[in-house]
Amino acid sequence: MNNPQDFWNQRFAESNHAYGEVPNAFVQAQVGRLPAGGCVLLPGDGQGRNSVWLARQGFDVTCVDWSEAGLASALELAARYAVQIEPVCADLTTWLWPETEFDAVVAVHLHLPPNARQQVHHAMLRALKPGGVLLLEAFDVEQIHYSSGGPNRLDMLYSAEMLSEDFVDAEIALLERAQVVLDEGLYHQGVAEVVRMVAVRSVT
């Protein structure tokens, strides 16, 4: 399947949630850093497990993904928990990103090729209000040695050094590599190497 968008539509059209319905552990652990009741943008949240959980915590959530099937699943999950999320079907590389609009951006396992990664990361930072918080977890370059999830292309895996360069204009509150044990649906299972970041958009 040559078209990545078709790949994700097919994966998210499967009967079960591909990455489960439970939110990412790092998001759960760091949610206290987000302003209560704030507006949160989740780019590439697929079937909405993190979006719906944040809506359940009282946040105003916008979920952006280019998979119509993923967003349909996200809306079904939101309805099941009687919460609302704002779905946006868009390619993150061509979407007209809002600027200075969100209190937080939460990006979980959003992996982009090198020619798009920095562009989208810069747009994520610009979407934040001054003082806004960005939470990010992605697979580290060392994940290439594991079969527990993520891209099988080294150029689509991230490193702490890469993120520090992409977010050089932000205040980095946390940047670390960690080994975790994933239990997130069918496609994230087992020991994995991830990189995690908490960044704040400068108020000046």
Number of structural domains, the chain? 1
pLDDT for 112-130, tens place per residue? Answer: 999 899 999 999 999 999 9
Only one residue has tokens 């908490």, namely 198
State the pLDDT at residue 57.
Answer: 98
CB 188 within 8 A of CB 182: yes
> Which position has the token pair 């697979």?
139
Range of the domain at 83: 4-201
Strand order in the sheet with 128-139: 86-89, 60-65, 39-43, 102-108, 128-139, 188-201, 170-184
What is the arithmetic mean of pLDDT over 135-164? Answer: 95
**pTM listed for this prediction:** 0.92
pLDDT tens digits for range 20-79: 678 999 999 999 999 999 999 999 998 899 999 999 999 999 999 988 888 998 999 999
Q: For the domain that residue 123 is a member of, what is the CATH number?
A: 3.40.50.150
State yes or no: pLDDT of 156 exceeds 50: yes
Confidence of residue 160 (pLDDT cuts 50, 70, 90): very high
> pLDDT tens digits, residue range 80-93?
999 999 999 999 99
Q: How confident is the model at residue 181 (pLDDT cuts 50, 70, 90)?
A: very high
pLDDT at 184: 82
Residue 10's pLDDT is: 72
The pLDDT value given to residue 18:
61
> Percentage of the chain surpassing pLDDT 90?
78
- pLDDT recorded at residue 1: 47
Q: Check whether 2 has a pLDDT greater than 90.
A: no
pLDDT, position 17 = 80
- State residue 22's pLDDT score: 85
